Structure 1
Amino acid sequence: MFAAKISSSANRTTTTDTRATNLRANFKLSTKDKETLPECLHEGQVDRDLKMPVSWETIASELETFDLVPQDDGSIEKLLEHCITYRLTEDKIVNEWIAFSMTRIGFALNAGNVDIFEHEVLSKKANKTRPAAIKRNTRAPMHDLNSLEELVQAETEEENLLDSYTTPAKAGTHKRVLTTPEQPQSKKVSMTRSPRLLFSPASFSPSPNPSLKYSSRANRGEVVVSFGTAQGATWQGMGGRSATVQLLLMPEDSIVKRFKYMFQKLRDIRDVLNDRIEDLSQVLTEHYNIEAIRSVAMPVQESVTFLGQIACDSNGKLNAKSVILQGDLKHSAGMQVPVDLSELKEFSLFPGQVVALEGTNSTSRCIVAFRLYEGVPLPFYKPEEVLEGLEQQMVLVACGPFTTSDSITYDPMLDLIDVINRDRPDVCILLGPFVDVRHQQIESCQLTVTYQEVFKQCMKGIVEGTRGSGSHLVIVPSLRDAHHDFVYPQAPFHCFEPSKEDKERVHFVSDPCTLNINEVVFAVTSTDVLFHMGAEEINSPPGGSDRFTRILKHILTQRSYYPLYPPAEEINIDYECLQLYAQLPVTPDILIVPSELRYFIKDVLGCICINPGRLTKGQVGGTYGRLFVQKPSSERVDRQTPCVAAQVVKI
Structure 2
Amino acid sequence: MEDQIRTEFKKNNFVLVEEEQILQKCVTFCINYNLSPSDLVSSWDLYSINRQLELTVSDAHMDAFRQQLQSEQKQAIIEKEQGLHSYTDLTMEELIDGQEDVKEVVPTSPAAQDVLRLELFDATPVTNGKMHSLGKPLELVTPFGQRKDKFVVHSTLNNLPIVDGIKVEQGEEKPDEDMIIKRVQPVKRCSLEVHSSKPASGCMYMYDRIEDKFNFLEDRIMKYSKPLVASQLYEEVVDPSVASQKSIFAVGMICCEEEGRLKEKPIMLQSSVEHSGGQRVRLDLQKLDQFSIFPGQVVGVEGHNPSGHYLIATKIVDYVPLSVPDDEGSRQTKRIALDPDNQIADPSDITSDLSLIIASGPYTTADNMFFEPLSDLLAYAQRKQPQLLVLLGPFIDSEHPEIKKGALNRTYDELFRLEILRRLQDYVEYMGSAARVVLVPSIRDAHHDFVFPQPPFDINVADPHQQITCITNPGIISANKVKIGCCSVDVLKQLSTDLVTRGIKNRMNTLTNHLLSQRSFYPLYPPAEDTPLDLSLAPEALQMTIVPDILIVPSDLTQFVKVLSLEGTKEGEEEVKCMCVNPGRLARGEGGGHFVELNFHGNPDSSSASVIRI
TM-score under structure 1 length normalisation: 0.63
Distance 2:194 2:375 in 1: 28
User: What secondary structure sits across from 1:319 in the alignment?
Assistant: helix
Are the equivalent residues in 2 in contact too, given 1:395–1:429 (CA < 8 A)?
Answer: yes
The partner residue of 2:284 within 313, 316, 340 is 340
Are the equivalent residues in 1 in contact too, given 2:397–2:445 (CA < 8 A)?
Answer: yes
The partner residue of 1:435 within 396, 399, 402 is 396
Pair 368,613 (structure 1): closer, same or farther in 2 beyond 3 Å: same
Structure 2: 5+ residue stretches without partners: 1-131, 167-183, 330-334, 336-345, 566-576
* TM-fit CA distance, 1:238: 6.5
Pair 225,447 (structure 1): closer, same or farther in 2 beyond 3 Å: same
Distance 1:461 1:575 in 2: 35
The partner residue of 2:191 within 232, 244, 263 is 244
The partner residue of 1:223 within 136, 145, 153 is 153
Q: Which position in structure 1 is the counterpart of 2:530?
A: 570
Counterpart AA for 1:490: Q
Is residue 319 of structure 2 the alignment partner of residue 375 of structure 1? yes
Pair 443,304 (structure 1): closer, same or farther in 2 beyond 3 Å: same
Pair 213,378 (structure 1): closer, same or farther in 2 beyond 3 Å: farther
The partner residue of 1:609 within 580, 583, 592 is 580
Distance 1:535 1:439 in 2: 24
Q: Which position in structure 2 is the counterpart of 1:282?
A: 226
* TM-fit CA distance, 1:641: 3.1
Distance 1:276 1:412 in 2: 40
Are the equivalent residues in 2 in contact too, given 1:321–1:340 (CA < 8 A)?
Answer: no
User: What secondary structure sits across from 2:274 in the alignment?
Assistant: helix
Distance 2:299 2:353 in 1: 40
Counterpart AA for 1:442: I
* TM-fit CA distance, 1:577: 3.1
* TM-fit CA distance, 1:394: 1.4
Are the equivalent residues in 1 in contact too, given 2:195–2:476 (CA < 8 A)?
Answer: yes
The partner residue of 2:546 within 586, 589, 614 is 586
* TM-fit CA distance, 1:322: 1.8
Q: Deviations over 1:548-570 (max 9, x none)?
A: 21111111111111010001100
Distance 2:298 2:532 in 1: 21
Distance 2:555 2:151 in 1: 20
Q: Which position in structure 2 is the counterpart of 1:647?
A: 610
Q: Deviations over 1:158-191 (max 9, x none)?
A: xxxxxxxxxxxxxxxxxxxxxxxxxxxxxxxxxx
Are the equivalent residues in 1 in contact too, given 2:227–2:321 (CA < 8 A)?
Answer: no
The partner residue of 1:353 within 278, 286, 297 is 297
Are the equivalent residues in 2 in contact too, given 1:395–1:426 (CA < 8 A)?
Answer: yes
* TM-fit CA distance, 1:288: 5.5
Equivalent residue runs for 1:51-70 within 5 Å:
none
Distance 1:315 1:216 in 2: 48
Q: Which position in structure 1 is the counterpart of 2:441?
A: 477
More relative contact order, 1 or 2 (CA 8 Å, 6+ apart): 2
The partner residue of 1:213 within 108, 128, 143 is 143
Distance 1:391 1:362 in 2: 54
Q: Which position in structure 2 is the counterpart of 1:28?
A: none
Is residue 235 of structure 2 the alignment partner of residue 291 of structure 1? yes
Are the equivalent residues in 2 in contact too, given 1:211–1:406 (CA < 8 A)?
Answer: no
Q: Which position in structure 1 is the counterpart of 2:574?
A: none
Q: Which position in structure 1 is the counterpart of 2:119?
A: none
The partner residue of 1:523 within 485, 488, 506 is 485
Pair 248,230 (structure 1): closer, same or farther in 2 beyond 3 Å: farther
* TM-fit CA distance, 1:210: 4.8
User: What secondary structure sits across from 1:452 in the alignment?
Assistant: helix
Pair 306,377 (structure 1): closer, same or farther in 2 beyond 3 Å: closer
Counterpart AA for 2:375: L
Distance 1:281 1:320 in 2: 28
Counterpart AA for 1:409: F
Q: Which position in structure 2 is the counterpart of 1:450?
A: 411
Pair 415,210 (structure 1): closer, same or farther in 2 beyond 3 Å: farther
How many pairs were matched up?
A: 431
Is residue 467 of structure 2 the alignment partner of residue 493 of structure 1? no
* TM-fit CA distance, 1:211: 6.8
* TM-fit CA distance, 1:321: 6.1
Pair 610,328 (structure 1): closer, same or farther in 2 beyond 3 Å: same
Q: Which position in structure 2 is the counterpart of 1:101?
A: none
Distance 1:420 1:208 in 2: 28
Counterpart AA for 2:474: P
Are the equivalent residues in 1 in contact too, given 2:350–2:481 (CA < 8 A)?
Answer: no
Q: Deviations over 1:202-224 (max 9, x none)?
A: 9xxxx995573322334421111
Structure 1: 5+ residue stretches without partners: 1-201, 632-639
Counterpart AA for 2:457: F
Distance 1:617 1:424 in 2: 25
Q: Which position in structure 2 is the counterpart of 1:143?
A: none
Distance 2:185 2:227 in 1: 42
Equivalent residue runs for 1:162-561 within 5 Å:
210=140, 212-232=142-162, 234=164, 239-249=186-196, 251=197, 254-287=198-231, 289-319=233-263, 322-376=266-320, 378=322, 387-388=348-349, 390=351, 392-457=353-418, 458-470=420-432, 471-494=435-458, 496-501=459-464, 503-541=465-503, 544-561=504-521
* TM-fit CA distance, 1:289: 2.3
* TM-fit CA distance, 1:287: 2.9
Distance 2:249 2:313 in 1: 9
Counterpart AA for 1:521: K
Is residue 599 of structure 2 the alignment partner of residue 628 of structure 1? yes
Distance 1:225 1:474 in 2: 24
Distance 1:628 1:361 in 2: 51
Counterpart AA for 1:647: S
Are the equivalent residues in 2 in contact too, given 1:627–1:643 (CA < 8 A)?
Answer: no
Pair 372,444 (structure 1): closer, same or farther in 2 beyond 3 Å: same
Pair 415,321 (structure 1): closer, same or farther in 2 beyond 3 Å: same
* TM-fit CA distance, 1:370: 1.0
Are the equivalent residues in 2 in contact too, given 1:208–1:409 (CA < 8 A)?
Answer: no
User: What secondary structure sits across from 2:437 in the alignment?
Assistant: strand
Distance 2:226 2:195 in 1: 25
Q: Deviations over 1:266-315 (max 9, x none)?
A: 02210111011011111122236222222122111222112100001222
Are the equivalent residues in 1 in contact too, given 2:441–2:457 (CA < 8 A)?
Answer: yes
User: What secondary structure sits across from 1:576 in the alignment?
Assistant: coil
Distance 2:514 2:232 in 1: 17
Are the equivalent residues in 1 in contact too, given 2:595–2:611 (CA < 8 A)?
Answer: yes
Are the equivalent residues in 1 in contact too, given 2:157–2:610 (CA < 8 A)?
Answer: yes
Distance 1:531 1:422 in 2: 33
Distance 2:606 2:194 in 1: 19
Are the equivalent residues in 1 in contact too, given 2:319–2:517 (CA < 8 A)?
Answer: yes
Counterpart AA for 1:215: G
Q: Deviations over 1:496-543 (max 9, x none)?
A: 222144x521101111111100001001111111111111111102xx
Pair 480,208 (structure 1): closer, same or farther in 2 beyond 3 Å: farther
Distance 2:509 2:140 in 1: 38
Distance 1:377 1:490 in 2: 29
Distance 1:514 1:238 in 2: 30
Q: Which position in structure 1 is the counterpart of 2:128?
A: none
* TM-fit CA distance, 1:258: 2.9
Q: Deviations over 1:414-445 (max 9, x none)?
A: 11121121212111001111100000110010
Pair 371,377 (structure 1): closer, same or farther in 2 beyond 3 Å: closer
Q: Output the aligned Cα RMSD.
A: 2.6
Counterpart AA for 2:427: G
